[in-house]
């Protein structure tokens, strides 16, 4: 019997556990032709999420495993830990707030059986505001124009990955992670399905406006080095414009004998150049920061404990 792991990274999701349990029990009952593992990753929650995980594990150790990370690392790293500890032949990633409907799972499994390695779920109708929808649309367009790896639109981490994809992702140990880009990068046979995003029933979203902006910048800088080229282009452009202006000034002063016009032109030039330089520095800095974090070569995460089916680790429950 093939085994499928459902990975649930959770940060302060104590209120979602009744729903998680209910959903996972349904998945198990409705897809009884597979063995199921439900792998919960506690991403340094400050509420009772860990206690809830321990409770679930104790009630049914055959199915519920958990990894307790040593602190809050963010969802990307929590998923990386999940890739490491998952034991299934396939892995389905879902949000612990259960915004991803389990009703999509049978379809994912069907395509997996047909031979697809990465069955990703696309949001169909999203109840987001017009502005948010448009910005994400522009963002995808921009991103796609910068790289020739096909990017899946309106797609998050909700997907089924074959073991081959999981192993590929496990070999990518970068700590500056943009997992969405990594799914695209590794290739393999991909298939998109559609789903309706559920409302969050309890707890609150961990995303603020600024973290979304950060995510967007992070997305671009980890996909491609194209912005670095922008600095070169801007440099050339400004030089050409400056040269034309230089010729113009020489002509004007020598032929028409116009007196030197100083202040406004100097101000505009300095401010403009200053802006271009700061922008270029900022772009450089974005990449340099990533290099800095990567070059330290630190492990992506540490764990307090793991309780589950991977047998090369021992029971580490602290009670
Ligand atoms: N999450 C996590 N670590 C974090 C933040 C979030 O593991 O530092 C988990 C969170 O518990 C949830 C998933 O990532 O299962 C998605 O988070 P959230 O629901 O806040 O994002 P949204 O659905 O609003 O995009
Ligand atoms: Mg959510």
pLDDT digits (tens, 9 = 90+) for 110-167: 999 999 999 999 887 666 678 777 887 888 888 888 887 888 878 889 999 999 999 9
Q: Which residues line ligand 1 (CB under 6 A)?
A: 9-11, 13, 43, 72, 74-75, 78, 95-97, 99, 205-207
The model's pTM is 0.81
Q: Residue 234: its pLDDT value, please? A: 86
Q: Residue 91: its pLDDT value, please? A: 96
Q: How confident is the model at residue 318 (pLDDT cuts 50, 70, 90)?
A: very low
Class of domain 3-208+300-306: alpha beta
81 CA to centre of ligand 2 in angstroms:
19
**Which residue lies with its CA nearest to atom 16 of ligand 1?**
95
Query: Is residue 269 pLDDT above 90, yes or no?
Result: no
Domain spans of the chain, in order of start: 3-208+300-306, 226-295
Share of the chain above pLDDT 90, in %: 44
Residue-averaged pLDDT of the chain: 86
Select from 188, 116, 192 the least CA-distant residue to 156. Answer: 192
Q: What is the mean pLDDT of residues 13-41?
A: 93
Task: List, in sequence order, the alpha helices (H) in the chain.
Answer: 17-30, 49-59, 75-85, 105-114, 130-146, 163-170, 179-186, 209-223, 226-251, 263-295
């Amino acid at each position: 019997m093939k085994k499928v792991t459902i990975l649930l990274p959770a940060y302060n999701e104590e209120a979602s556990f009744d729903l998680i349990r209910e959903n996972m029990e349904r998945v198990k009952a409705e897809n009884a032709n597979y063995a199921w593992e439900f792998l919960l990753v506690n991403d340094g929650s400050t509420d009772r999420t860990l206690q809830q995980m321990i409770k679930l594990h104790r009630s049914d150790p055959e199915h519920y495993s958990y990894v307790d990370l040593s602190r809050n690392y963010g969802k990307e790293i929590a998923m990386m830990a999940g890739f490491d500890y998952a034991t299934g032949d396939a892995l389905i990633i879902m949000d612990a707030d259960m915004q991803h409907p389990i009703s999509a799972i049978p379809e994912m499994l069907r395509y997996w059986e047909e031979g697809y390695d990465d069955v990703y779920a696309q949001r169909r109708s999203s109840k987001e505001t017009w502005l948010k929808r448009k910005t994400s649309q522009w963002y995808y367009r921009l991103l796609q124009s910068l790289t020739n790896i096909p990017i899946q639109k309106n797609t998050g981490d909700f997907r089924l990955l074959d073991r081959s994809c999981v192993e590929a992702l496990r070999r990518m140990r970068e700590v500056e992670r943009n997992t969405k880009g990594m799914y695209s990068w590794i290739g393999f046979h991909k298939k998109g399905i559609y789903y309706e995003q559920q409302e969050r029933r309890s707890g609150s979203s961990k995303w603020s406006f600024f973290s979304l902006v950060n995510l967007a910048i992070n997305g671009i800088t980890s996909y491609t080095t194209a912005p670095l080229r922008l600095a070169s282009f801007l440099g050339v452009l400004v030089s050409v414009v400056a040269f034309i202006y230089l010729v113009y000034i020489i002509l004007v002063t020598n032929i028409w004998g116009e007196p030197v016009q100083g202040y406004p032109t100097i101000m505009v030039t300095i401010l403009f150049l200053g802006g271009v330089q700061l922008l270029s520095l900022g772009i450089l800095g974005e990449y340099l920061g990533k290099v800095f974090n990567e070059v330290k070569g630190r492990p992506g995460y540490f764990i307090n404990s793991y309780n589950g089916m991977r047998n090369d680790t021992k029971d580490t429950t602290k009670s």
